[in-house]
């Protein structure tokens, strides 16, 4: 486990705007309670509370990964209206203490959904 610091900062803030994720014309996530995670030089990522997703469109994937700063991630496929996007979503179910805020949240690969819209 590595701790975020000056050489690899991780900043998590509440996103005050609405975050809406769509696939195949269907809203699969809609929230005003997203978290914005900024990590080192990577683009920001929105983490959506699980309570604000359409869980019936998610199917657990066998894919996993490990981040030395956040912990072990599990992945989900999305299935909507005949559209299938493998490993489009990830979640840290037991994140490391430094990023525990993202527990019970999911994040989406922008290139595996139709849109991630952030509006007022």
Instruction: Assign residue 109 the CATH number of its domain.
Output: 2.170.150.40
Question: Containing domain of residue 83, as a range?
Answer: 10-119
- Please give the pLDDT value at position 114: 97
- Please give the pLDDT value at position 66: 98
In a domain, 4, yes or no: no
Model confidence pLDDT, tens digit, residues 53-92? 999 999 999 999 999 999 999 999 999 999 999 999 999 9
In a domain, 1, yes or no: no
CB contact set of 38 (below 8 Å; sequence gap of 6+):
9, 10, 11, 12, 13, 44
- Residue 94: which pLDDT band, with cuts at 50, 70 and 90? very high
Model confidence pLDDT, tens digit, residues 2-41? 999 999 999 999 999 999 999 999 999 999 999 999 999 9
CB atoms within 10 A of CB 41: 7
In a domain, 3, yes or no: no
Which strands, in side-by-side order, build the sheet including 18-23? 26-31, 18-23, 115-119
Bin 118: left if φ > 0, else alpha if -120 < ψ < 50, else beta. Answer: beta
| Number of domain units in the chain | 1
- Residue 50: which pLDDT band, with cuts at 50, 70 and 90? very high
Reported pTM? 0.96
């Amino acid at each position: 486990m590595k701790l975020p610091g000056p050489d690899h900062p991780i900043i998590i803030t509440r996103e005050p705007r609405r975050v809406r994720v769509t696939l195949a014309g269907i809203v699969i996530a809609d929230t005003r309670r997203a978290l914005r995670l900024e990590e080192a030089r990577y683009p920001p990522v929105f983490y959506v509370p699980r309570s604000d997703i359409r869980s019936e469109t998610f199917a657990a994937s066998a894919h996993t990964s490990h981040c030395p700063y956040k912990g072990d991630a599990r992945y989900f496929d999305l299935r909507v209206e005949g559209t299938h996007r493998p490993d489009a979503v990830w979640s840290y179910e037991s994140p490391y203490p430094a990023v525990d805020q993202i527990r019970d949240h999911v994040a989406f690969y922008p290139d595996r959904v139709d849109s991630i819209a952030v509006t007022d």
